[in-house]
Amino acid sequence: MEILKTRPVPMGVANDVMNGRGTDKELGYEQNLAVEHLTKFTRLDTKQAEKLMEEINSVLRMGAETLVQIVNIMPKNPDEVRMIFAREKFSLKEDEVAKILEIVKKY
């Protein structure tokens, strides 16, 4: 198998992909663990996740990996948002953190 392209996706999308593969053929041990993890910890379905990503991206431009982490973690307080951005070369202003939290609360 050759990997042509990789991109970060929210857990809802990964859950759909893995569940779709499970119906086609039997999954391996690691894949079953991944499906179990995704089933347990996915908070938004694919449509909701994509809508949330679009809404956040329309307000603040950021990398795809960071955006996916916000959707997967669904931060509830400013410290959780700052934790997601800790590895970035910039820091968010208080009003930007508040905008992210306001958008996430809708979901």
2-22 as b/e, with b when 16 or more CB fall inside 10 Å?
A: eeeeeeebbbbbbbbebeeee
Residue with tokens 């042509």: 4
Write down the domain spans for the chain. 11-41, 46-105
pLDDT at 52: 96
* pLDDT of 66 strictly over 70: yes
* pLDDT of 24 strictly over 70: no
- Mean pLDDT for 40-62 is 93
* pLDDT of 22 strictly over 70: no
- Assigned CATH for 46-105: 1.10.150
Average pLDDT, the chain: 91
DSSP characters for 34-54? Answer: HHHHHHHH--S-HHHHHHHHH
The more confident residue out of 4 and 91 is 4
- Mean pLDDT for 59-74 is 93
